[in-house]
Amino acid sequence: MDITPDQIVYWRWGAATLNATIVWTWVVMAVLAVGSWAITRGLTAHEGMGRGQNILEGIVSLIERQIRDVSDQDPQPYLAFVGTLFLFISLSNVLGIVPGYHPPTGSLSTTAALALCVFVAVPVFGIRRQGLRRYLGQYLQPSIVMLPFTIIGELSRTLALAVRLFGNVMSGTVIAALLLGVAPLIFPVIAQMFGLLIGVIQAYIFAILAMVYIASATRAHAGPDGSDASTQKDGHAHG
Amino acid sequence: MLTDWFTVVVQILNFLILVWLLRRLLYGPITRVMAERDARIQAEMAEARRLREEATAEGERHQALVATFESERDARLAAARDELEAWRHTHMQEVRAEVEGLRQRWQEALQQEKHAFLDDLRRRAGREILAVTRSALRELADVDVEARIVSRFLAELGGIPPADRDALAAAALADGGKVHLRTAFALPDTEQARVTEAVTAALGPGLTVTAETAADLVGGVELRAGGLKVAWSIDDYLTSLEEALTEAFGADQKAGDDGEAARPPAD
């Protein structure tokens, strides 16, 4: 039994391999892209909008609301990144009910890639919002002694992101395969249902944690007077 | 080794491509449409607020107009009521005056009718009394009433004072010696001769007596000379009768007037 779909290789050319992780990722991407294109073709801002538009607007509104709740900021700059994380991981996990499907999130390569994206996105969003100097200054707060611990924290939480998602999805797949061998009638169905639930929950956790990390980077530390630096900046810019 | 770094790099690229694709195909259009809808709803809300404010203002204006209209209506009704009351008062005065005029005319007409009736009654009563008297006297005493009337007239003629007699004679002479004898009945020749003889004896000779029958005389004989006359008739009796009847009519009319005055005047 393969622990990870990386081990299912369809084609190899030197170090480059076309494995199941990449192929099923493309399938998920195609489903998301084509589905979005098909639904957003006939969007309307007036009465009589379709069921697909209604569902998509509900999903996007939900993501925006979650981003706003976590970050207390305008969700628009983070919507594409965080939303894509959630949708990609969700669909990758939910499609697990399709026989023969190998979820890309069951590959540590995929979860590591997503965690690296988050690892890079956190300073990108932080610097874009606060500026390089102020962002780097956060690493020295409250004391320069904390710098190594802060860096370790950044790395470890990225590793935790990758391993958490990989472990959950991989374990779900493995448990389903084991149950299929032990009790092939009822229990695999129940395990699959739990797998769907866990897959969506894991997508939610991954996206929310990513947003929490981004929010912590974009939200400045409280100043001596207790005011928020980013808020002051915003207020100044708007004022 | 669970991690294939080539796969990691490809997955990073795949994820970035997916972010780009979904930004173009999903988030962009969806958020744009939601923003358009929000803007449209905001615009409609603003329009609804504007219309509500307009409706409120229009309602207040309408209420003010209604209040003005009601006050004007009340004022006009009060003025019309006063005018009507004044008109009614004026016309009641006119109507009362007109009714009073009609009443007076009616009273006058009633008086005229009463006089005409009494006059007619007087004549009829005279004729009837004379006829009854004639029949009674003829049957009871075999006496001709006309002869008795002439006799009574001649006695009256003979009894006038000398000064009056002289004045009568002078008036007859001034009239060419003519003396007019008027009787209510046709005077027989014998009676006419008797009268002529008595006139000559009383006023002197040379006078011409002309006799004529006058319907207006009731049972009487009248002698005219110039502007003077000597007469006898039952007219005095009839006058007494007429006075009695007039007095009775007057009492009835007074009672009627008192009853009418006792009624409250109609407003």
Q: Which long-range contacts (CB under 8 A, 24 or more apart) does A177-182 make?
A: A177/A1
Q: Residue B87 above 50 pLDDT?
A: yes
pLDDT of B145: 82
Residue B91's pLDDT band, with cuts at 50, 70 and 90, is: very high
| Residue A41: CA count within 13 A, CB half-sphere | 6
Contacts of A15 in chain B (CB under 8 A): 6
Nearest residue of A to residue B10 by CA position?
A: A22
Q: Which of B7, B14, B26 sits opposite A56 (nearest CB)?
A: B26
Residues of chain B in contact with residue A36, where contact means CB-CB under 8 angstroms, are 21-22, 25-26
Query: How far is CA A212 from its chain centroid?
Result: 11
**Mean pLDDT of the A134-161 span:** 86
Residue B223: its H or E element: strand B221-225
The 10s digit of each residue's pLDDT in A40-79 is 988 888 878 888 899 999 999 999 999 999 999 999 999 9
Q: How far apart are CA A66 and CA B211, in angstroms?
A: 153
Domain assignment of residue B115, yes or no = no
Measured CB to CB, residues of chain B less than 8 Å from chain A are 2-12, 14-19, 21-23, 25-27, 29-31, 33-34, 36-37, 40
Of residues B239 and A91, more confidence is placed in A91
A-B Cβ pairs (cutoff 8 Å, strict): 117
Mean pLDDT for chain B? 86
| Alpha-carbon distances of A33 from A29, A221, B24, B66, rounded to whole Å | 6, 38, 9, 65
**pLDDT exceeds cutoff 50 at B85:** yes
Q: Let me know if residue B179 belongs to a domain.
A: yes
pLDDT digit string, tens, across residues B105-130 = 999 998 898 888 888 888 788 878 88
Q: Do B21 and A29 touch (CB under 8 A)?
A: yes
H or E stretch covering A16 = strand A16-19
Could you read off the pLDDT of A105-124 as tens digits, one per residue?
989 899 999 999 999 999 99
**pLDDT score recorded for residue A35:** 94
pLDDT in the model for residue B96: 94
Determine the Cα–Cα distance for residues B144 and A143; give it in Å rounded to an integer: 179
- Identify whether the C-beta of residue A115 lies closer than 8 Å to the C-beta of residue A127: no
Residues B244 and B213 sit within 8 Å (Cβ to Cβ): no
CATH number of domain containing B207: 3.30.360
CB contact under 8 A, B7 and A45: no
Q: Give which of A206, A160, A197, A195 is closest to A66, Cα–Cα.
A: A206
Query: Would B198 be classed as within a structural domain?
Result: yes
3-state per-residue secondary structure call for B161-213: CHHHHHHHHHHHHHCCCEEEEEECCCCCHHHHHHHHHHHHHHHCCCCEEEEEE
- Residue range A146-165: mean pLDDT, rounded: 87
Task: Tell if the CB–CB gap between B12 and A116 is shorter than 8 Å.
Answer: yes
What does residue A147 show for φ and ψ, rounded to 5 degrees? -55, -50
Q: Are B219 and B134 in contact (CB under 8 A)?
A: no
Q: Please name which of B149, B150, B126 lies closest in space to residue B239, comparing C-alpha atoms.
A: B126
Are A201 and A164 contacting, i.e. CB atoms less than 8 angstroms apart?
no
Q: Please identify which residue in the block is written with the tokens 């005095």.
A: B236
Residue B21: count of CB within 10 angstroms of its CB: 19
> CA-CA distance, A164 to A112, in Å (whole number)?
10
pLDDT band (50, 70, 90) for residue A228: very low
pLDDT band per the 50, 70, 90 thresholds, residue A2: low
Closest CA to B4 of A160, A27, A113: A113
In this structure, what are the phi and psi dihedrals at residue B183, rounded to the nearest 5 degrees? -130, 155
* Residue B199 maps to a domain: yes
Interface test with B, best of A11, A56, A109 (most B CBs within 10 A): A109
Q: Domains in chain B: how many in total?
A: 1
Nearest chain A residue to B39 by CA distance is: A45
Per-residue pLDDT tens for B162-212? Answer: 888 888 888 888 888 888 888 888 888 888 888 888 888 888 887 888 888
Domain holding B219, by residue range, is 144-233
Band the pLDDT of B253: cuts 50, 70, 90.
Answer: low
- How much is the average pLDDT of B15-22? 97
Which residue from A126, A111, A95 is spatially nearest to A218, judged by alpha carbons?
A126
pLDDT-based confidence at residue B238 (cuts at 50, 70, 90): confident
Is residue B77 assigned to a domain? no
Q: pLDDT confidence of A212, banded at 50, 70, 90?
A: very high
Q: Cα separation of B267 and B257, whole Å?
A: 19
CA B118 → CA B115, B218, B235, B239, B245, distances in Å? 5, 14, 13, 10, 8
Q: How far apart are CA A179 and CA B17, in angstroms?
A: 36
Specify the pTM. 0.59
Instruction: Check if the interface score ipTM surpasses 0.95.
Output: no
Least Cα separation, residue B50 to chain A (angstroms): 22
> Residue B173: inside a domain, yes or no?
yes
Residue A237: band (very low, low, confident or very high) from pLDDT cuts 50, 70, 90: very low
